[in-house]
Structure 1
Amino acid sequence: MTVPMIIGMIMMMSFGLIDTFFVSLLGTEPLAAISFTFPVTFTLISLNIGLGIGTSAVIARLAGQGKQDGARETGSGALMLSFIMVGILAVCGGLSIDFVFQLLGAQQHLMPHIHDYMEIWYFASVFLALPMVGNSVLRARGDTKTPSIIMATGGGINALLDPLFIFGFGPVPAMGIGGAALATLISWIVCSVWILYLLARQRNYILPRLLTVKELAERSRSILHIALPAAGANMLTPIAGAILTRVVAGYGEEAVAAWGVGSRLESFTTILVLALSMSLPPFISQNMGANRFERVKDAYWLVVKFVLAWQLFISVVLWLCSGLLASLFAKEQQVAELIQMFLIIVPLGYGLQGIVILTNSSLNAIHLPMSALVLSVIRLFVFFVPITITMGIFYDLQGIFSGAVIANLLMAMVSVYWFRRSLRVVSAQTHE
Structure 2
Amino acid sequence: MMLGIVSLMLFNIADSYFVSQLGTHQLAALGFTFPVSFTVISLSIGLSIGTSATIARLIGSGNESGARQLTTDNLLMTTLLMVTIAVLATQMIDPLFRLLGAGDDLLPYIDQYMSVWFGGAVFYVLIMVSNSSLRASGDTRSPALLMGISSLLNFILDPIMIFGWGPVPALGIQGASIASCIAWGLTAVFALWNLYFNKGLLVLRIESVSVALQHWMMVMKIGFPAALSNMMTPIAAAIMTAIVATHGPEAVAAFGVGSRLESLSLLANLALSMTLPPFISQNFGRGYVDRVRGAYLAAVKFALLWQAAVYLLLLLFAGGIGSLFSDNDSVISLIGLWILIVPLGFGFQAVTFLTASSFNALHQPIRAMRISIFRLFCLYVPLGLLGNYLADLQGMFIGFVIANMCTAAMAYWWMQRHLKRL
Q: TM class, shorter-chain normalised?
A: 0.7 to 0.9
What aligned pairs does 1:269-284 form with structure 2 within 5 A after superposition?
Answer: 269-284=265-280
Q: Which residue of 1 aligns with 2:236?
A: 240
The residue type paired with residue 417 of structure 1 is W
C-alpha distance in 2 between matches for 1:111 and 1:167 = 21
C-alpha distance in 2 between matches for 1:222 and 1:248 = 41
Q: Which residue of 2 aligns with 1:291?
A: 287
TM superposition shift of 1:245: 5.2
C-alpha distance in 2 between matches for 1:80 and 1:303 = 34
Q: Quick check: 1:32–1:257 contact (8 Å CA) kept in 2?
A: no
C-alpha distance in 1 between matches for 2:396 and 2:94 = 27
Q: Quick check: 1:7–1:148 contact (8 Å CA) kept in 2?
A: yes
Q: Which residue of 2 aligns with 1:367?
A: 363
C-alpha distance in 1 between matches for 2:53 and 2:7 = 24
Q: Quick check: 1:154–1:188 contact (8 Å CA) kept in 2?
A: yes
Match among 25, 41, 60 for residue 37 of structure 2: 41
C-alpha distance in 1 between matches for 2:259 and 2:173 = 18
Q: Which residue of 2 aligns with 1:149?
A: 145
Q: Which runs of 5+ in 1 are unaligned?
A: 428-432
SS in 2 for 1:410: helix
Change (3 A) 1:383 1:267: same
TM superposition shift of 1:309: 2.1
Q: Which residue of 1 aligns with 2:301?
A: 305
TM superposition shift of 1:48: 1.3
Match among 146, 155, 179 for residue 159 of structure 1: 155
Change (3 A) 1:353 1:33: farther
Match among 110, 115, 120 for residue 124 of structure 1: 120
Q: Which residue of 2 aligns with 1:183?
A: 179
Q: Which residue of 2 aligns with 1:416?
A: 412
What aligned pairs does 1:395-406 form with structure 2 within 5 A after superposition?
Answer: 403-406=399-402
TM superposition shift of 1:219: 1.0
Q: Which residue of 1 aligns with 2:345?
A: 349
TM superposition shift of 1:71: 0.5
SS in 2 for 1:208: coil
The residue type paired with residue 219 of structure 1 is H
The alignment-based identity, stated in percent, is 46
Q: Quick check: 1:105–1:249 contact (8 Å CA) kept in 2?
A: no
C-alpha distance in 2 between matches for 1:366 and 1:178 = 42
What aligned pairs does 1:302-341 form with structure 2 within 5 A after superposition?
Answer: 302-318=298-314
Match among 193, 197, 204 for residue 201 of structure 1: 197
Give the TM-score normalised by the residue count of structure 1. Answer: 0.82
C-alpha distance in 1 between matches for 2:254 and 2:95 = 24
C-alpha distance in 1 between matches for 2:379 and 2:65 = 44
Match among 14, 23, 26 for residue 10 of structure 2: 14
Q: Quick check: 2:322–2:333 contact (8 Å CA) kept in 1?
A: yes
Q: Quick check: 2:236–2:381 contact (8 Å CA) kept in 1?
A: yes
The residue type paired with residue 228 of structure 1 is F
Q: Quick check: 1:14–1:155 contact (8 Å CA) kept in 2?
A: yes
The residue type paired with residue 263 of structure 2 is S
The residue type paired with residue 238 of structure 1 is P
Q: Quick check: 2:78–2:126 contact (8 Å CA) kept in 1?
A: yes
TM superposition shift of 1:395: 6.0
What aligned pairs does 1:131-146 form with structure 2 within 5 A after superposition?
Answer: 131-146=127-142
TM superposition shift of 1:296: 1.0
C-alpha distance in 2 between matches for 1:338 and 1:178 = 38
Change (3 A) 1:419 1:96: farther
C-alpha distance after superposition, 1:156-176 (max 9, x if no partner): 222333455556666656666
Change (3 A) 1:294 1:263: same
C-alpha distance in 1 between matches for 2:309 and 2:170 = 40
TM superposition shift of 1:300: 0.7
What aligned pairs does 1:60-75 form with structure 2 within 5 A after superposition?
Answer: 60-75=56-71
Matched, 1:85 2:94: no
Change (3 A) 1:207 1:238: farther
Q: Quick check: 1:237–1:380 contact (8 Å CA) kept in 2?
A: yes
Q: Quick check: 1:28–1:254 contact (8 Å CA) kept in 2?
A: no
C-alpha distance in 2 between matches for 1:108 and 1:341 = 40
Change (3 A) 1:174 1:282: same
Give the TM-score normalised by the residue count of structure 2. Answer: 0.83
How many equivalent pairs are there?
A: 422
C-alpha distance in 2 between matches for 1:309 and 1:374 = 26
TM superposition shift of 1:61: 1.3
C-alpha distance in 1 between matches for 2:223 and 2:341 = 33
C-alpha distance in 1 between matches for 2:391 and 2:101 = 21
Q: Which residue of 2 aligns with 1:224?
A: 220
TM superposition shift of 1:194: 0.7
C-alpha distance after superposition, 1:265-311 (max 9, x if no partner): 54344222222112111111111122211111111111111112222
Q: Report the RMSD for the aligned CA atoms in angstroms.
A: 3.7
C-alpha distance in 2 between matches for 1:33 and 1:316 = 39
TM superposition shift of 1:89: 4.1
Change (3 A) 1:135 1:399: same
Q: Quick check: 1:120–1:178 contact (8 Å CA) kept in 2?
A: yes
Q: Quick check: 1:64–1:290 contact (8 Å CA) kept in 2?
A: yes
TM superposition shift of 1:422: 1.5
Change (3 A) 1:108 1:336: farther
Change (3 A) 1:107 1:310: farther
Larger relative contact order (Cα-Cα within 8 Å, sequence gap ≥ 6): 1
Match among 37, 41, 46 for residue 50 of structure 1: 46
Q: Which runs of 5+ in 2 are unaligned?
A: none
The residue type paired with residue 196 of structure 2 is A
